[in-house]
Amino acid sequence: MSMPFLIVGLGNPGSQYSETRHNAGFWFLDRVAETCGARLRQQTRLQSETARAELFGRDCLLVKPTTFMNHSGQAVRAVMDYFRADAASLLVAYDELDLPPGVARLKRGGGHGGHNGLRDIFRHIADHDFLRLRLGIGHPGNKDAVTPYVLGRATAEQERLMRGSISDAIAALPLVLGNDVPGAMKLLHTETGPGDGI
């Protein structure tokens, strides 16, 4: 079985969470699926909804874990084991408190930054040198307010900016999938304004 490039979006399953800031990774994955006309289907053994598709000339597997955010690592591990994938062929998209809405940033490796989805992925895979797409959601300003903030719905303006940054990230994907990660970073990190798209 050939090994696809894995694109994982993090979020919480269920309609009550679908519009929350914490589901920015799911928003991104849905846009990727829309871009290539892929339809996600439940894969119980992979604890995910997945779709196999060619995206910008690369064989990809789109992955939305059906576990809750805090158990994302179970799904990522199951998918990586099934496809015998390694960290070099993994991109994880998730919400980032430390970036404002409208800003998306790409990085490889590093810590989990307190993000519970990433923290659980770290528990389940030994190699943490995978690509991360950080989608800014802003910070409420008080650490005690973080949980209700991330599990709350973005304002209309925040959502507009967040979806704009997702468009920016989609525009950088051809470079990521063409193994030009520095080029993708340069494109994404030199946007003229938050969430303006390309």
Q: Which helix (H) or strand (E) holds 194?
A: none
Structure tokens at 118: 């990433």
Cα gap 62→50, rounded to integer Å: 5
Cα gap 60→3, rounded to integer Å: 9
Is 22 tagged catalytic? yes
Cα gap 193→7, rounded to integer Å: 25
Give the CA-trace dihedral at 177, 180, 183, 188, to 10 degrees: 30
Structure tokens at 34: 């829309």
Q: Catalytic residue among 22, 71, 124, 128, which?
A: 22
Active site residues: 22
